[in-house]
């Protein structure tokens, strides 16, 4: 690439990066994380064509030092990255960002044990992902996790998460999903995290009675559960809102559009009637043909304003204290560059 072409390329690159950062800043709440400088991040670029710091995403993650004390921003240029990725627990405060979910794709096709099949596994705390497609292309015949999240204080913005069975293993910790698209057929949002899904599109591939959620809360003392607020549910056939992986499974749908894909009974006890008295399955001011509660199972709840209030803010995940804005400056070597520098 010639000098002039490289200059134009770099100018375009920073313009796109600025767009990503501005988008993220609107999407995230301000945070307080001790004395760490949240305005400046070390920038690592991933480009399959070799016009970055790394050609593979995992190489960029591996380059972050263990127990890092500052922000790292891994910018993934458009492309399809065939990688099975892990973000280790000793590498917090990483942002992994594409340009658009439609053109920045992380894909793998594994199956087997649910905790081993994930295309992307996040064990680190304070991780953020933006504008990425994360998919498992294994197919319809077994467990195939696209995304496993076990770290605490983890957020996803504008991502597409795609598979068939167990698509999103929302395993443990406090998590936030904003404007994400999540697709699957069987128990495709599962695990025992405390998670808030805001303005997300949930799409069921089930043709008969596959469950959207399989929340795994095991005890009434566990402060975990899934809340879907202002979301949209669509599908190709018929689906349940959820079934209990754990006996104290807790799921709430609030202010959510439900298409006719949602079965009239709404929920299932997974063949164990004893769970009917211990689960917490609630709906609040949902709408659409699938939101009609006339034939809902009697052990699900139509929530009052008072009952719904604790589920309608980021306080349920402590988000006001840890959701952070995007950095406004990027550091490369000893140089600090503003996000809007062309």
Q: Where are the domains of the chain?
A: 3-332
Q: According to the model, what pLDDT value does residue 32 have? A: 42
Q: Backbone phi, then psi, for 290, in 5-degree steps?
A: -85, 0
The DSSP bridge partners found for residue 74 are 44, 96
The DSSP bridge partners found for residue 148 are 121, 169
Q: According to the model, what pLDDT value does residue 123 have? A: 98
Pick the catalytic residue: 152, 170, 171, 187? Answer: 187
Pick the catalytic residue: 166, 170, 171, 269? Answer: 166
Angle ∠(173,178,183) on CA atoms, nearest 5:
85
* 3-state SS, residue 280: strand
The set of long-range contacts for 205-209, using a CB threshold of 8 Å and a minimum separation of 24, is 205/164, 205/235, 205/236, 205/237, 206/235, 206/236, 206/237, 206/238, 206/239, 207/236, 207/237, 207/238, 208/237, 208/238, 209/238, 209/239, 209/240, 209/263, 209/268
Q: Catalytic: 187?
A: yes
Q: According to the model, what pLDDT value does residue 11 have? A: 47
Q: According to the model, what pLDDT value does residue 2 have? A: 45
What pLDDT, in 10s, does the model give residues 94-153? 999 999 999 999 999 999 888 899 999 999 999 999 999 999 999 998 999 999 999 999
- According to CATH, the topology of domain 3-332 is Pectate Lyase C-like (2.160.20)
Q: According to the model, what pLDDT value does residue 280 have? A: 98
* 3-state SS, residue 11: helix
Q: According to the model, what pLDDT value does residue 334 have? A: 62
Using 50 as the pLDDT threshold, list the residues of the chain that sit under it: 1-12, 14-16, 18-19, 21-32, 340-342
Q: According to the model, what pLDDT value does residue 31 have? A: 41
What pLDDT, in 10s, does the model give residues 191-211? 999 999 999 999 999 999 999
Find where tokens 């658009």 sit: 100
């Amino acid at each position: 690439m010639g000098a002039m072409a490289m200059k134009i390329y770099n100018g375009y690159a920073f313009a796109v990066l600025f767009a990503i950062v501005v988008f993220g800043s609107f999407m995230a709440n301000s945070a307080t994380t001790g004395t760490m400088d949240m305005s400046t991040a070390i920038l690592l670029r991933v480009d399959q064509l070799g016009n970055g710091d790394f050609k593979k995403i995992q190489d960029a993650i591996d380059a972050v030092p263990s127990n890092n004390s500052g922000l790292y921003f891994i910018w993934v240029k458009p492309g399809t990255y065939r990688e099975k990725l892990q973000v280790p627990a000793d590498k917090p405060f990483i942002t992994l960002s594409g340009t658009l979910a439609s053109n920045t794709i992380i894909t793998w096709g594994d199956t087997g044990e649910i905790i081993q099949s994930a295309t992307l596994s996040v064990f680190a705390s304070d991780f953020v992902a933006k504008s990425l497609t994360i998919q498992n292309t294994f197919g319809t015949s077994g467990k195939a996790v696209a995304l496993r999240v076990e770290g605490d204080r983890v957020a996803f913005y504008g991502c597409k998460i795609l598979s068939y069975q167990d698509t999103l293993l929302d395993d443990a910790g406090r998590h936030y999903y904003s404007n994400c698209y999540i697709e699957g057929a069987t128990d495709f949002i599962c695990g025992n995290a405390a998670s808030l899904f805001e303005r997300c599109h949930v799409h069921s591939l089930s043709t008969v009675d596959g469950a959207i959620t399989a929340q795994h809360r095991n005890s009434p003392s566990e402060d975990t559960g899934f809340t879907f607020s202002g979301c949209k549910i669509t599908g190709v056939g018929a689906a349940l809102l959820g079934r209990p992986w754990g006996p104290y499974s807790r799921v709430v749908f609030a202010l959510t559009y439900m298409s006719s894909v949602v079965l009239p009974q709404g929920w299932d006890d997974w063949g164990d009637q004893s769970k009917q008295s211990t689960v917490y399955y609630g709906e609040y001011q949902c709408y659409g043909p699938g939101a009609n509660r006339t034939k809902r199972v009697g052990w699900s709840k139509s929530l009052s304003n008072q009952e719904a209030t604790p589920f309608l803010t980021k306080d349920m995940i402590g988000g006001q204290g840890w959701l952070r804005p995007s950095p406004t400056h990027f550091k490369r070597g000893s140089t600090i560059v503003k996000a809007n520098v062309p």
